[in-house]
Amino acid sequence: MRITADREACCAAGQCALIAPDLFDQSDDDGTVVLLDARPDPGRLDALREVVSRCPTGAIRIEEDPGA
C-alpha cells in the first residue's frame, strides 16, 4: 500500500496527525500535512482508512497494491 498527501489540497485541520502521528505531521510553516511514511505497514490500514475518512478536503489517499 502507498499513501499520498496533497499539500495543496490540505486545509491544515490536523486530523491525520492526531489519528496517526507515526505517519503524519504538520508543517511548522503553515500547518499542512507532512507525510512521514508513504509505505506504512499493512497493519496500519484501519487507522489510515480513518484518516482518509476524516480528512475534510480529501488530501490523503490510500493506494492499495493490486492483489492485496
**Domains of the chain, CATH where assigned:** 1-57 (3.30.70.20)
Choose between 66 and 59: higher pLDDT.
59
Scan for cell 484501519, then name that residue: 46
Residue ranges of the alpha helices (H) in the chain? Answer: 15-19, 45-54
| pLDDT confidence tier of residue 67, bands split at 50, 70 and 90 | low
In this prediction, residue 20 carries a pLDDT of: 97
pLDDT recorded at residue 68: 53
Mean pLDDT calculated for residue range 44-59: 96
Are the C-beta atoms of residues 1 and 62 closer than 8 Å to each other? yes
Mean pLDDT of 19-34: 97
Question: How far is residue 9 CA from its own chain's centroid?
Answer: 12
Q: Model-level pTM?
A: 0.90
Provide the mean pLDDT of the chain: 94
